[in-house]
Chains A and B, each alone.
Chain A
Amino acid sequence: MKALGVLVAIALSLALQTTLSRFVVGGSVAVDVVLVAVIATALTIGPVGGMLAGTAAGLIQDALSSGVIGIGGLAKTIVGFLAGAFGQQFIVTAALPRLVIFVAGTVLHGVVYMGLYSLLDLREFPSPWKPLAAQALGNALVGIVAFGIIESLPGMVERRRARRVRR
């Protein structure tokens, strides 16, 4: 059931990301929804689910892009594993710890992703830190909002059912 939920989340995030990519500003996307989904999965399920989700999502994302297949997958696998491991060791139910994890996860993802591309001499990133910081903040905000929505969904459904029963 969890696996199905993860797959759905990844599929939705990919669909959303490809849709958002049309709103590119200055050559970079401010929010990586797929990465948000991977971190959220890792925090919810754990390191194994996080890294598997990161692998799958990253590979698909790489396949859909024109880059080297595997670089995004590797970056998201590492972030998924570490976020899951961190989530297992510490209480991350509050907004601030989640924000920190989203920011740190995004920075780590960016470092790995851009580092590998630079290392292989395939792409150049003249001033990576500004867009990366913007993406980290964007991801963190989206992630916190998404977490809030997901966590409030069961309660909303219960309240609607209760209202129907009263009528």
Chain B
Amino acid sequence: MALLDIRQRTGWLFGALVVSHIILISAQVTTKRGVPVLQEVTFGVFAELQRASTSALSSAQEGWQNYFALQQIRQENERLKKEVTQLSVSLQQERTAAQQTRTLQGLLDLKSGTAFQTTAATVIGSGADPEFRTITIDKGTQDGLRADMAVISPAGVVGRILMPTARAAKVQLIIDRDAAAGVVIERSRVGGLVSGIGSADALAFKAGLIQLEYVPGSADVKKGDRVVTSGLDGIYPKGLPVGEIQSAERVSGEWRIRLKPAVDFSSLEAVLVVLQVPEPPGDVKPAADGEP
């Protein structure tokens, strides 16, 4: 009841009366433009209200549109991210294809440059046991492959066919501890035997090095010398790069030599299989291209 008691609300009552009088006066008085003051004031006040409400509405509308624009931008961003991912994958595929093309081009060059018949094969797997360093290629006896055929790459000797099946073959890499090849040091023409290193020499084994044995202590050996096949082992054709001398030390009157293989076995993708087993030196007869 106190709220309704006007004696408690004198100021409000006074204000209401003053406003009422002003409205009453405005309703009767016209401005110089001939418009009633009440109408002009009312219009002015409502115009301001309309301006405020329109401004608020515009702000809300703008905010809403911006929100939707952001949503669209987010969706577009997601789409672009997917596109970038797809393009990255495509680019990687293109790079891989280019790399394969280069590898195959190298093989083709090697194939056309060699005097013996070869066939290209793709590496499809590697050995299950790290102790035995082998790879699997996608060519087998159906393609003319036989055991002990030499496997080479543009960089040099890869290994030999160990176990051919009809459509695939296991290749023993030159770095396998049981592998061996007759070689000569290119510069000094000193002969020797290259073989793999077992896990007993852990550092050399992990580094993928091979060793050169049976080199007399009086032989001229230098670090950095290139080592090539001698063709004396009856497997590898003569003159194929095997590796480069990384370290050489004399032990008990003999050289103890470590080689870095010419071939990077970690990135081997395609190889050439020499279909003709070379004859021992002196009897070498290069086969005509295309002849089995």
Contact = CB atoms under 8 A, between A and B. Distances in A.
A51 interface: yes
Interface of A: 46-48, 51, 55, 68-71, 73-74, 77-78, 81, 85, 116, 120-122
B32 interface: yes
Contacts of B32: 121
Nearest to A74: B21
A44 B95 CA distance: 105
A48 B14 CA distance: 8
Given A47-B10, A48-B7, A120-B37, A77 B21 contact: yes
A69 B7 contact: no
B28 A77 contact: no
Contacts, number: 45
A1 to B, nearest CB: 16
B10 A74 contact: no
**By DSSP majority rule, is chain B's interface helix, strand, loop, or mixed?**
helix
Given A120-B37, A121-B32, A68 B25 contact: yes
B29 A73 contact: no
Contacts of A47: 10, 14
B17 to A, nearest CB: 5
A121 B22 CA distance: 15
Interface string B50-68: 0000000000000000000
Contacts of B25: 68-71, 74, 116, 120
Interface string B201-244: 00000000000000000000000000000000000000000000
Interface string B6-48: 1100100110011001101100110010000100000000000
Contacts of A121: 32
Interface string B65-100: 000000000000000000000000000000000000
